[in-house]
Amino acid sequence: MTHPPGDSLRLDRPSLAVAAFLALALLAPSCARAPRGERAVRGEIKRQLGQGFRLFRRPTVDADDLQPLVRRFYRGRGFRPAWTSGRGPTADARLLRRALDQAPREGLDPSTYALGRIDSLMKRATPRFLGPRTPTRSLAALDLLLTRAFLGFAAHLSTGQVDPRALPADWHVRRRRVNLVAILSDSLHAHHVPEALAAMPPRDPRYAALGGALERYRAIAAAGGWSPIPPGPTLRRGQHGPRVVALRARLARAGDLPPQGSRSAVFDGETEAALRRVQERLGLTPDGVAKAQDLAALNVPVERRVRQIELNMERWRWVPDSLGDSYLMVNIPAFALELYEQGKPALTSRVVVGKQFSPTPMFSDRITYLVINPSWYLPASIIAREVLPAMMQDRSYLKHTGIRVFDSPHPDAREVDPAKVNWSSLDWDTSSTQPFPYSFRQEPGPQNPVGHVKFMCPNQFDVYLHDTPAGHLFSQSERDFSHGCVRVEHAVELAERLLEGVPGWSRAELLAAFASSMRDSAVRLPQPMPVHLFYWTAWVDDRGRVQFRDDVYGLDRVLEEALGHRRPL
């Protein structure tokens, strides 16, 4: 079956407000009764659609509404009812209603889809209650509500409830394009409504793994969750007392200790090993010692962990179906990078990401070349905030840091003697539309903050991955220290993997270039490497462990607020 191109919609979270009209129509005092024939229902559907719906719009929720799709769907079928007949709701209608009950498994709220009103109307339209006095408007309202429920549920499953571009955060990732009207029409024609909806969620197995984690943590919550561990001094092996009992009970609730013996008051080797496992899953130092930071993470209620999983399932719905056969993924809250080759992890590295006031943006791009022994052109913001104050305190600052000044950022720029410039007379406002008249370049060397290699993925943010001489930062559990770029601990190993098979760039030749050359050189990759900078605060790792991380940029809270602004059908 073919469909006009106009049916295709880029779904960036349609707002799911339903017509106030539909709700009021059922309560209207009119006693007029229309015949139940399809012609009468068809006319009533057309009339209700012609009345128009009151739209609820919110700034953080996509302004696109389902109403145009509903109209297009019915116009394409001559306004014939899709879910009802003279005998009441069709088999497809009942299958859709059962499918909507699966919304919680996807981290979605079923009340969004007006199930109460649908159930009431379906009951009134069953053969037991259906009669000549059944209002035609009720059958039309039921048909419209079921259509909106299908389109809304399918939209939420496939591209999410919220448009990330409307959030106060940099998320720039190409999203799926889904033709909802075509999918609805085809599923009704083939009587495959549940199958069509089952095909809508993200195909990446990591999304399904989060769904399994959601079920598990909801079960823990239903069983009573876990009690907080009382505050107090650090707990470690060899200690005993009521706080150790509370710690062991918390570990047992999450399955890290066997239920039997969980009330022991002794912090033994078993407790220490279980605590290490939990610390690894929470991104904490896995030393088996319960410090204040560890206790705070352990005391996060299970209900909060459930919500965290739901929020990250929503983010997965913003991601395209394919990330590439081989690709790099940076998880910002985990301060980690993974290289995937043919879909399997091939290299893992700790990374440093941007500070909260200079965050690393979320985007997808392609690494097309590497720069060996790169120079660093300092951004105006860093010059204004850091370099200028240092220059004012120490006139030799530029010399001993290897920074040179030029009269423009162009390749043919002329070098300037910084001692001959009246720096205090310049406009250092980084928001100014006037370009800064000088370019600052730090030459390759041990003090260069981009290290021996840069991984270039030209993008609008001027953000890239690079090496760093500040290796001591990777020993910290929270690593948000950069100005936005991503510093890679195992940059040499990553460069070696990306340059594999490129003549003249074996590991030995790469290390020799680092050691012998003070000039930058670009090496183009034979095939561009996709790179994705994402924001996951909950995921399931390759060993099946549910991982949680702190919301380093506060984006879980932002997303939760946006979801709270939605209106149900």
Annotate 101-162 with DSSP letters as a single string. Answer: TTGGGGT--GGGGTHHHHHHHHHHTSTTT--TTS-HHHHHHHHHHHHHHHHHHHHHHHH-SS
Query: Which residue among the candidates 156, 457, 483, 485 is catalytic per the annotation?
Result: 485
Whether 466 sits among the annotated catalytic residues: the reply is yes
What was the pLDDT predicted at 125?
A: 78
Q: What angle do CA 396, 398, 400 make, to 5 degrees?
A: 70
Contact 337, 536 (CB under 8 A): no
Reported as a single tens digit per residue, the pLDDT across 153-192 is 999 999 999 989 888 877 888 888 899 999 999 999 999 9
Ranges of residues in the chain with a pLDDT under 70 are: 1-36, 52-65, 127-134, 261-262, 427-435, 517, 565-569
Tokens of 520: 């930058």
What was the pLDDT predicted at 430?
A: 56
d(CA 206, CA 223): 26
Whether 485 sits among the annotated catalytic residues: the reply is yes
Contact 295, 497 (CB under 8 A): no
Reported as a single tens digit per residue, the pLDDT across 436-486 is 778 898 888 888 899 999 999 999 998 999 999 999 999 998 999 998 999
> Which residues of the chain does CATH 1.10.101.10 include?
226-300
522 bridge partner residues: 371
What was the pLDDT predicted at 124?
A: 83
Contact 549, 224 (CB under 8 A): no
Tokens of 338: 């993974």
> Which residues of the chain does CATH 2.40.440.10 include?
322-556
What was the pLDDT predicted at 431?
A: 56
d(CA 63, CA 73): 20
d(CA 485, CA 465): 6
Query: Which residue among the candidates 466, 483, 490, 532 is catalytic per the annotation?
Result: 466
Q: For residue 194, what is the enclosing H or E element?
A: helix 193-198
d(CA 433, CA 322): 39
Name the CATH topology of 226-300: Muramoyl-pentapeptide Carboxypeptidase; domain 1 (1.10.101)
> Cα dist. 269→238, 246, 272, 273, 485 in Å?
9, 16, 5, 6, 41
The arrangement of secondary structure in 322-556, i.e. its CATH architecture, is Beta Barrel (2.40)
pTM comes to 0.85
